[in-house]
Amino acid sequence: MYKLLTTVALLVIISNFALAQGNGYGQKIGHFDSEYVLNQLPEYAEKTKELEALAKTYDKEVRSLYDELEKMRAELRANEVLLTPAMIEERKEAIEAKNQEALNKNTELFGFDGLYYKKVEELLTPLRTKVNLAVEVIAKKHGLDYIFDKAESIGMIFSNPVHDYTEFILEEMKAQQKGN
């Protein structure tokens, strides 16, 4: 959904740009690399490490459930000849319940609205907000109508380095940090 909206926005911008060219005035467009900017921030590295540790913890939880599930399946296969049909059915139901438990836990932790996703939003949104504020300042300072982010997949195939404002944005963020 996000990519569709981004693509539509890009098409609108390009069409506006084309119309503007036809009217005799141009729009100034720049780009930057948010991934590069974020990687220059020490707090981003801290947050990333925290998220990696959390992901490992959550992964262990989910993996242990799947390990239990596989163990139950192996036990059933090994003992199937010794069990009655009712016992086999009972164990299959237990296996299905464990499978559902593992799926639910995986969704709870890593699903679209899962705990990991919420933690990512909680930790990274303030940093992205800082970047966005710096982008806005630089856009106004340099008279830019649009700034694209090369790190996001919006279909930018080529970008002239002359229009790269990444370093300006980093400088602005440093200046804002000194001001705080």
Q: What is the average pLDDT score of the chain?
A: 85
What domain count does the chain have? 2
| 57 and 109 co-located in one domain | yes
Confidence check: pLDDT of 102 > 60: yes
Do 28 and 61 share a structural domain? no
Asked if the model's pLDDT at residue 19 lies above 60, the reply is no
Single residue among 76, 99, 117 that ends a domain in this structure: 117
Determine the average pLDDT of the residues in 1-17: 52
Does residue 2 fall inside a structural domain? no
Considering 95, 117, 139, which residue would you say is the last residue of a domain?
A: 117
Average pLDDT over residues 96-112: 96
For 114-157, what is each residue's pLDDT tens digit?
Answer: 999 999 999 999 999 999 889 888 888 888 888 888 887 665 54
Cβ within 8 Å of residue 81, ≥6 positions away: none
Q: Is 11 within the bounds of a domain?
A: no
Looking at residue 110, its pLDDT comes to: 96
What is the three-class DSSP state of 80?
Answer: helix
One domain for residues 128 and 159: yes
DSSP letters spanning 2-23: HHHHHHHHHHHHHHHHHHHHHT
Q: Six-digit token pair at 102?
A: 């593992």
**Would 37 be classed as within a structural domain?**
yes
Is residue 4 scored above 50 in pLDDT? Answer: no
Tokens of 12: 């609108």
In a domain, 97, yes or no: yes
For residues 102 and 147, state if they share a domain: no
Q: What is the pLDDT of residue 29?
A: 85
More confident: 48 or 9: 48
Domain that holds residue 127: 20-44+123-179
Pair (73, 162) in one structural domain: no
pTM: 0.69
- In-domain check, residue 75: yes
**With bands split at pLDDT 50, 70 and 90, how would you rate the model's confidence at 22?**
very low
Decide if 140 is inside a domain. Answer: yes
How many DSSP H helices and E strands does the chain contain? 6, 2
Between 23 and 64, the more confident residue is 64
In a domain, residue 10? The reply is: no
**Residue 13 placed within a domain:** no
Q: Is the pLDDT of residue 17 over 50?
A: yes
In this structure, what CATH number is given to the domain that contains residue 155?
3.30.910.20
